[in-house]
Structure 1
Amino acid sequence: MGSGEEGAAPHRWAGDSPLTFTDFIAIDWSGQAVERPKGLAVAHARAGDTAPVLIDRPWSRADILGFLEGLADSGTRALVGLDLSPAFPFADAGAYFPGWAESPADGPALWALVDRLSTPDPHFAATSFVQHVEARRHFRQMGDCGDLFPGGRGRFRVCEVGQEAMALSPYSCFNLVGASQVGKSSLTGMRVLHRLRGRVGLWPFDPLPDTGPVLVEIYTSLAARLAGMRKGISKIRDAETLDTMLAAFGSAPHAPLPRHDDHATDAILSAAWLRVAAGQPGLWTPAGLTPDLARTEGWTFGVL
C-alpha cells in the first residue's frame, strides 16, 4: 500500500452505508524494552452484544505482529484499535524533526526510519533511535533533554489538541519521561507498523479496504470517558465497574478475568466501544482531518 500522494483527498468514509466488520479487537500497547511487556493486552469482540474476551497470554510485540498478519492472511474483516500514536507532530513545525536532513515526509517513511535506526534493538524496542545523535535532540528523556525539545509539555499533533478539547489529557510523543508518557509505546509501535506495510492498512494513512482487517489508532481513556467515567478517574480495576461501562456500549457482562488490571480492562472496554463506533460515519470523517494530516500525523479514531 502506498503512503498517499501529497495533496490527495484524505481517506474517509466510503459510501453512504456503514462499514461492516465481523470482529473488533483492541490492543493496549507497551513501550517497555523487554520481550514480553506486562502492559500488552489484547481483547476480541464479535459482532453482536456478547462481551469482548481477553486473549490472555504473555504477549510479545512479535506475537502481535504475527497475530495481525494472521488476520490479513485469513481475510478477517476486523477493526483493530492500537493504543499508540503512529506518528509525531508535523503540522506545527512543517516536519517531524526540523533541522534534520533525514526527517521523513510522511508516516510510512517515519516508520521505516525508526525501524532502520533501531535495528540493533531486540523485541521491536527503539532505544537506538532515541539515542541517535540527531533524533535525541527532539526528545525529553530521563537525564537528557534534547536542545530542540521546546520545553513545557512539548509538541502536539492536531488530533491531540482535539483530545484536549474532549477533556482528555494527551502527552507529547516527544516526552519520554514519566509513568504516563506514550512516546516509547509509539516508537515500538512504529516498528511493527513498518513490518505490516502492504499487509494491513492503517487509517487514515491508507485507503479503507473493502475486505480484510483495518487498523486505527485509539485512546483507551476516550472509551472510558464515553462510557460515563468521570474526569479524574481513568482506570477500571474491578468487575462491577467494567460491566457498568460495558453496558453503556450495549455489551453483555464480561466473563470472569484472572485479573482486573487496567491493561486488561482498557482492552476489553475499547473493543466494546469499537463495535459501536465503527458504524458512526462521523468518526471516519472528522472535520479537522486534512489531506496533509492524513499522510503525516494521522488521527485518533473517535476524536471529532
Structure 2
Amino acid sequence: MTPRFVRFAAIDWSGAKGARHKGIAVALCTEGDAVPRLIANPAGGFWSREAVADWLVAEAAKAPTLFGFDFSFAPPFVARGAYLPGDAVPETGPDFWAYVDSICTDVDLGAASLLESTHRRHFYFGKADGTKAAFMHNRLCESHYNAHGGNKPSTVYDAIGAAQVAKASFAGMRLLHRVRGHVPIWPFDPLPAPGASLVVEIYTSIAARAAGRPRGRTKMRDLAALNDALRSLGSAPHEGLPPDDHGADALVTAAWMRATAQRPEHWTPDLLDPHIAATEGWTFGVI
C-alpha cells in the first residue's frame, strides 16, 4: 500500500543544548506545485524541540501530513546485535526511545547527558577515546546508501565536529517517544490507512542531490541555487529574501517529499525486513 498525503513537512533538526534553537527550521507544502513555506514558531522566536512536538501533534490531526525529520531514528543494531553493547538497554526502537526519554532530564528534550555521562564510553569525543574508526558503526540503510555513492559522513556514535549527528539523534528519539501516541512512525509502525499522518526519517542531502546539487555541495546559500533546486522538483520558486541554509534545506526537502511520496519503491526498500524495521528503522528515500 502506498500512503496518500495532502501536506508535506520537512524539519531540519538540532541537538544543541538550551531551549531555543537557531538550527531548527520547519517547512510545509501542500499538493500541487506551490512553493513550500517556512513555518514560524507560534510562540515567537526560534523553535524549541518541545514546540515542534506540539506543532506536529496539532497539525497531524488537521490533514494527512507526511512529516520528515533529519536525524537518525535509532542507533545501529543489526551489525552488533545491540544499540549499546554491554549495557542493559531495550532492543526495539520505540522501547529505546522511551528509555532515552526516561533517563534524560536535559532541558527541551535534550539528550547530551546520555552521551556525556550515562553511556559515555560508547561515544567518540576526541583522541582521548582512542581510534575514531572503532566508533564508526552504521545502520544497514546507511551502509547501503554509502555503498551506492551516498557518502553519509557520520554515525550517532560520533559526538565531535560540525557533522556529528549524535546529540540531534538522541534528542530526536525523545521527540519520537512524545509524539508516537498521536502519529505513527515508519517503519517502526505500519503504514497508516488513508487519511492519517505519518512521521519518517529524512536526510536532507538526499533531497538536495535529487534536486541536482552535486555531492559535497548540497547546501544552497543563495536564492538562485535554492530556486534551481525547487524548480527541478516541480515547485514554484521562493520569493523574497533567501533563508539561511537550515531553511533552504527544509524548503527543498519538503518539495522533494511531495514529489516522491507516491513512489511505491520508497515504501518497500529491498533490504528492509521486520527485524530491521523494529530495531534500526530506515531513511525515507534510500532504496
Same fold by TM-score greater than 0.5: yes
1:80 lines up with 2:64 in the alignment: no
1:92 lines up with 2:74 in the alignment: no
TM-superposition CA deviations, 1:235-264 (whole Å, max 9, x none)? 00111111111111111111324x432100
Structure 2: unaligned runs, 5 residues or longer: none
Q: Post-superposition shift, 1:231?
A: 1.7
Hey, what's the Cα distance between the residues in 2 that align with 1:19 and 1:294? Answer: 17
- Out of 109, 121, 141, which is 1:124 matched to? 109
- Out of 49, 55, 61, which is 1:61 matched to? 49
Partner of 1:21: 5
Hey, what's the Cα distance between the residues in 1 that align with 2:81 and 2:132? Answer: 15
Q: Percent same amino acid at aligned positions?
A: 44
Hey, what's the Cα distance between the residues in 2 that align with 1:225 and 1:151? Answer: 27
Partner of 2:266: 283
- Out of 151, 171, 174, which is 1:191 matched to? 174
| Distance change in 2, residues 1:144/1:114 (3 Å) | farther
**2:28 is paired with a residue of what secondary structure?**
strand
Hey, what's the Cα distance between the residues in 1 that align with 2:244 and 2:134? Answer: 31
1:174 lines up with 2:157 in the alignment: yes
Q: Post-superposition shift, 1:153?
A: 5.7
- Out of 156, 160, 163, which is 2:138 matched to? 156
Hey, what's the Cα distance between the residues in 2 that align with 1:94 and 1:50? Answer: 45
1:35-74 matches, within 5 Å, as 35-57=19-41, 58-74=46-62
Is the Cα contact below 8 Å between 1:25 and 1:43 reproduced in 2? yes
Q: Post-superposition shift, 1:98?
A: 1.2
Partner of 1:222: 206
Partner of 2:231: 247
Aligned residues: 281
TM-superposition CA deviations, 1:2-38 (whole Å, max 9, x none)? xxxxxxxxxxxx2xxx422110000000010111111
User: In structure 2, what residue type is equivalent to 1:61?
Assistant: R
| Distance change in 2, residues 1:129/1:153 (3 Å) | closer
Hey, what's the Cα distance between the residues in 1 that align with 2:128 and 2:104? Answer: 19
Is the Cα contact below 8 Å between 1:25 and 1:79 reproduced in 2? yes
1:235 lines up with 2:219 in the alignment: yes
Q: Post-superposition shift, 1:142?
A: 4.7
1:298 lines up with 2:281 in the alignment: yes
TM-score by length of 1: 0.88
Is the Cα contact below 8 Å between 2:207 and 2:252 reproduced in 1? yes
Is the Cα contact below 8 Å between 1:167 and 1:231 reproduced in 2? no
Q: Post-superposition shift, 1:168?
A: 2.5
**1:256 is paired with a residue of what secondary structure?**
coil
Is the Cα contact below 8 Å between 2:124 and 2:132 reproduced in 1? no
User: In structure 1, what residue type is equivalent to 2:67?
Assistant: V
| Distance change in 2, residues 1:77/1:160 (3 Å) | same
Structure 1: unaligned runs, 5 residues or longer: 1-13
Measured on the aligned residues, the alpha-carbon RMSD in Å equals 1.6
User: In structure 1, what residue type is equivalent to 2:95?
Assistant: A
Is the Cα contact below 8 Å between 1:154 and 1:172 reproduced in 2? yes
User: In structure 1, what residue type is equivalent to 2:208?
Assistant: A
**1:141 is paired with a residue of what secondary structure?**
coil
Is the Cα contact below 8 Å between 2:26 and 2:38 reproduced in 1? yes
**2:61 is paired with a residue of what secondary structure?**
helix
User: In structure 1, what residue type is equivalent to 2:74?
Assistant: A
Hey, what's the Cα distance between the residues in 1 that align with 2:219 and 2:127? Answer: 29
Q: Post-superposition shift, 1:152?
A: 4.7
**2:200 is paired with a residue of what secondary structure?**
strand
Hey, what's the Cα distance between the residues in 2 that align with 1:64 and 1:70? Answer: 10
